[in-house]
Structure 1
Amino acid sequence: MLAYISKCVCQSGYIEVQKYCIRNVGPSKQCNNNQILIDGHCYAFAKIGEYCIDTVACLGDSICYNNYCTCPKDTVAQNGHCREEKRCDENQIRIDGQCYQRSNIGQFCQFTEQCASISTCQNSICICPPNTVPQNNICIPSGPCPTGQIFISESCLDIAYIGQECLFSQQCQGYSTCIDNICKCPNDTIVRNGLCTKEQCNSNETMIDGACLKIVKIDEPCYHTKQCQGNATCQRGRCTCPSGTINSNGTCIINPNCKPYQVTVNGSCFDTVSVGMICQHNSQCSESANCVLETTNDPNSRTCQCVNGTLFTGSKCLASSLQCPPSTVYIVDDVCYPLVEIGQFCVYTIQCMGYSTCSNQMCKCPVGFTAIRNKIAIL
């Protein structure tokens, strides 16, 4: 008796490339089977997470975003393909394709991404970093006080949770206030998950992590992007217009004078730059990075560097107990590698600045691009 084995094949109009089904655009006399012709140049097909020039080169239903094949919004990478992901609730966060509950400071956690403010997940509890203390679910500087205390009226006092003794409301956590020397919730709130929360927020407030926070204007202090008006986002604790936009009568609009990758500072356009690159203003740097002096001898040697308590992972500065030296990137096995400019020796693409890639152990611009001010630009 014969046994028949089924085989998955590509649909009509598609061909197999590197075990992916892609649309058949016809033969090309210039490119190999694993390449695609874009603007007269042959580019290799790219998997999710790999460098790309155009979406047509991306495999697995991914798109080319910031020159890397990335899964579109509301999809997640699974086995090399972008699959529609289950939406997380507002009080949840997606980590590695799974929904996890957001955690307030002092609550149970599995990942640092769950933790509020700049707290980190240590021993399964969200804890504020050294030299900071929690206040209303935000980590603030503790001043000269040890961990667990806050500096008030020239004294170090213990932080207090709902129901504990207090002298000042600044000690009280979870949006509680000091009433009769006890941290209590205001009359119009109830205790929920260790926080004083309202059943319904006022018209000038928004519900975030179970608490009602004031809706604020551009350039005002914030805790979450949901508070910000006028298309602004919460960056470094302040509602700020995204890169390539400016504040026009309380609304962030595309700056007609600047390019999408630039920011406006005092009416002038400046390129946004990655960690390790030369800068003039903090707003040029990515979130959790500042423009700092590299050496005291040269006042013009300012570069973007991650703030204390964070390290660079190639795309952003993340809170971590591991500390990397300035102008380095964390890659694997607790090892920090130096960031390198175009034309210099490299081991990994993640080291290369200016959106270049590591090819033959050297940071290079992709085909069709050239280096301008140590960043790649299309020819």
Structure 2
Amino acid sequence: MKMSLSVLLFAAVLPALVFGGSSRIMPTMMPGSRCGLDQPQACRGGSHCINSVCTCQTGSTVVDGECVVLVVAPPLAPCVDEATVCGGQSVCTDSICKCPPGMTLRGHECYRNNEVSGVVPPSSVACTDASHCTGGSTCVNGKCTCQQGMVLSDGWCQFKYAYPGETCARAEICVGGSVCSRDMRICNCPERTIQIDNSCLEGLGSIH
């Protein structure tokens, strides 16, 4: 049986494609894996080879093998994904950034109880301008009241939040990486992202 010229040429070139030159197949490493200086491009998920380790940039963390920018959420904001970090000395409890036991929320910061005085719980009628309303509320017309866009739940003023695809027409906070559309008033995933469950995942919007 005679072999065609194209087959012979392919057989001659194949070893060079696989084993030699810049065309050799390179392994890819997830963030946190070891990497070499001779193959820094092998790091995937947005990581870079730093000190022989595939490392995410400062201010980001690894979520499902990808480097995702950390989002600092204020007290009473939702913390529904791994990329969200609670700020103001709050901690993530039941998917909400709350002040830990022994601390009280004042403004956007959690303070130790012995650092605040004259505290009044939300919905109380006893507050004055000098009182420190708790639970994230403020003193309005002599009553500790939750700010607009927040509701009272278990003694705390909590943001009303909406997942991708849900309405944001009543000042709801869009979560999961979504943003509120000015026209439709719906929480939509940004460009180059795609909705999976209750989150917008980056880098998948261009995949067809």
Larger relative contact order (C-alpha < 8 A, sep ≥ 6)? 2
Higher fraction of helix: 2
TM-score relative to the length of structure 2: 0.30
Larger Rg: 2
